[in-house]
Amino acid sequence: MSKHFIDGKAVAGKVCLSKSEMYHRIKAGTFPRPVALGPRKVVFLESDVDAWMQARIEECDTSVTFRRLRAHKAVGSRRDRRIEP
């Protein structure tokens, strides 16, 4: 993985979140923490952000599969309840 620094604005654009939402998630512990370079400058490790994005993709794949199975089950149960003339 790459060990490049990227600033908050670039991270916000990359992950499609506002900076305030990013910092809300950092505080909640659900987003990678920034690295302080000085008293007024923080950056993020690109590899941490990429890993966070990959985890969201994997969660989405899992939940899509779950939703698909649940929907398939629901359609099947509706077919079972139909009254045949």
Q: What is the pLDDT along the chain (85 residues), one digit of tens a residue?
A: 558 999 999 999 999 999 999 999 999 999 999 999 999 999 999 999 999 999 998 887 666 666 666 776 766 655 555 555 5
Q: Which residues contact 47 (CB under 8 A, 6 or more apart)?
A: 1, 2, 3, 4
DSSP H helix total and E strand total for the chain = 3, 3
Contact 20, 36 (CB under 8 A): no
Q: What is the reported pLDDT for 11?
A: 96
* pTM of the predicted model as reported, rounded to 2 decimal places: 0.69
Closest CA to 31 of 52, 8, 5: 52
How wide is the angle at C-alpha 67 spanned by C-alphas 62 and 70, nearest 5°? 125
Contact 64, 70 (CB under 8 A): no
